């Protein structure tokens, strides 16, 4: 199926024909016509709508430039080709894989390019940050997260940064709008991170033999924060409120109607 229309002007007849062809294809392969993954860049096929809403997104905001293999809509991947002998090889124009695809491969620890999950994230990794950009969505997120970790930037400050940077980019950009969506992008790829307590003077990390130490063996500063009443606040592993957890925020994100229900406890 010819998909060159994806890169055409949204006011062109070619783009209009392409959108309608896609919608027909999506409907024919959909199990639920009212819940079809939307290929607009910001929706990223994670949000599902009916055809009318998706049509509006595609005409107003454009089709995701990185979504070449419509694996979320019933199409099989074209990234790998099998010879008559059963050997898998890539077409010549795809022999030089990008570093972002290598990151996905490492995250999944698999060379199976026919894997649904793998192809899904390769499409996300290859998606340009905006039309004409040489930087992919994943590449930009890796660089920004590296900067965030290196300087110990809070999620709140990171959200402000993403908002500011996004305002400077073209309207069709796919940069996450907040720290939560940015973290989710990387965690979905298997790129988890682990937090360790550290000495305020950066002498040690509280891990290994120092995991349960009450103070730094070098500078003797307390491992724990001191509350206003002078008492030490220890990390006893107990959750004070469910809303403090990442899992709760994930539930709110995935099921917004449930999150907005006043009876939701």
Helix axis angle for 246-254 and 179-188, nearest 10°, is 90
Q: Is the distance from CB of 90 to CB of 80 less than 8 angstroms?
A: yes
The answer to whether residue 222 sits within a structural domain is no
Supply the pLDDT for residue 246.
62
Q: How far apart are CA 75 and CA 95, in angstroms?
A: 22
Give the mean pLDDT per block of 10 residues along the chain (265 residues): 82 89 91 88 82 90 81 71 40 42 50 50 74 84 83 87 92 88 70 74 86 88 76 61 63 74 69
Supply the pLDDT for residue 184.
75
Does 169 share its domain with 247? yes
Select from 177, 197, 109 the least CA-distant residue to 137.
Answer: 177
Does 148 share its domain with 255? yes
Does 70 share its domain with 157? no
Count of the separate structural domains present in the chain: 2
Supply the pLDDT for residue 12.
87
Supply the pLDDT for residue 169.
92
Supply the pLDDT for residue 88.
40
The answer to whether residue 125 sits within a structural domain is no
The answer to whether residue 123 sits within a structural domain is no
Supply the pLDDT for residue 111.
46
The answer to whether residue 103 sits within a structural domain is no
Which of 59, 74, 89 terminates a domain? The answer is 74
CB under 8 Å to 185, separation ≥6 — which residues?
Answer: 124, 137, 138, 141, 176
The answer to whether residue 44 sits within a structural domain is yes
Supply the pLDDT for residue 161.
92
Supply the pLDDT for residue 92.
39
| CA 198 and chain centroid, separation | 28
Domain that holds residue 255: 137-193+242-259
């Amino acid at each position: 199926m010819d998909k060159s229309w994806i890169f055409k002007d949204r006011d062109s007849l070619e783009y209009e024909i392409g959108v309608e062809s896609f919608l027909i294809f999506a409907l024919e392969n959909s199990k639920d016509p009212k819940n079809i993954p939307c290929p607009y860049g910001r929706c990223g096929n994670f949000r599902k709508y009916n055809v009318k809403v998706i049509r509006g997104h595609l005409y107003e905001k454009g089709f995701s430039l990185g979504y070449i293999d419509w694996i979320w809509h019933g199409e099989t991947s074209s990234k790998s080709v099998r010879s008559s002998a059963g050997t898998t090889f890539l077409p010549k124009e795809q022999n030089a894989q990008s570093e972002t695809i290598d990151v996905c491969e490492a995250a999944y620890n698999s060379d199976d390019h026919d894997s649904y999950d793998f192809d899904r994230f390769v499409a996300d990794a290859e998606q340009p940050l905006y039309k004409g950009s040489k930087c992919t969505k994943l590449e930009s997120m890796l660089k920004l997260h590296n900067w965030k970790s290196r300087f110990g930037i809070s999620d709140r400050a990171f959200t402000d940064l993403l908002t500011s940077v996004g305002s400077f980019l073209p309207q069709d950009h796919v940069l996450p709008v907040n720290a939560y969506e940015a973290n989710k992008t990387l965690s979905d790829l298997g790129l988890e991170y682990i937090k360790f307590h550290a000495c305020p003077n950066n002498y040690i990390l509280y891990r290994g033999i120092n995991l349960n130490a009450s103070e730094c063996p070098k500078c003797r500063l307390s491992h724990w924060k001191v509350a206003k009443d002078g008492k030490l606040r220890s990390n006893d592993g107990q959750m004070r409120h469910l809303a403090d957890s990442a899992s709760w925020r994930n539930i709110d994100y995935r099921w917004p109607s449930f999150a907005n229900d006043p009876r939701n406890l």
